[in-house]
Structure 1
Amino acid sequence: MNAGDTVVWQIMAHNTGRTPLENLTVSDPAFGEVTCPATTLAPGARTICTTAPYTITRKDAKKGKIVNVATVSATGTDGRTVTSRVRAKVAVRPPHRHAPRR
């Protein structure tokens, strides 16, 4: 990936428990709004949520990577809240340096 490219993060929420989950939300402070096609998950069900598109900056490229941390939360029908943090990174090529002209 290079500066100017667009990244859309996909975050999978998977109910690995035995209780249905409701009010599923994903918080992604670094990349803003996250859209999930489902906010209720039966046991064993999953959904893939997506962030708004993000354009990679030269500053990102200088760092060589973009790290994203999102938090998935939902409430079980038993009233308990479950939360999971997910972390992902993508490598970004540093900007090209041009040789000085002679």
Structure 2
Amino acid sequence: MTLPSLKLYRYFLDGVPVYLARYYWWAYLWSFAVWFFDHQPIINAILFGQYRNLMRATMARLEGVADGHVLQLTCVYGELTPNLIEAISPAP
């Protein structure tokens, strides 16, 4: 028995690369999923309760970064980006 191919990704193709829409629509393009996954308890559960440990380890690696130049390749959900900004360029 084969399952029918729903091809729901086709609803998310407008201006989005096909690979992104095809494989990741459910996590990054569907508005309900974006709302759902952008909650700290959900992120922590996905990471098996290790979010804070990973955050601390990441921030420790960035201590003493010269001139505050950091390239952040990606961060979809969570508090990493605001914490990086605060660490690299603290408010006056």
Same fold (TM over 0.5): no
Q: TM-score, normalised by structure 2?
A: 0.24
Q: TM-score, normalised by structure 1?
A: 0.23
Structure number with the higher helix fraction is: 2
Structure number with the higher strand fraction is: 1
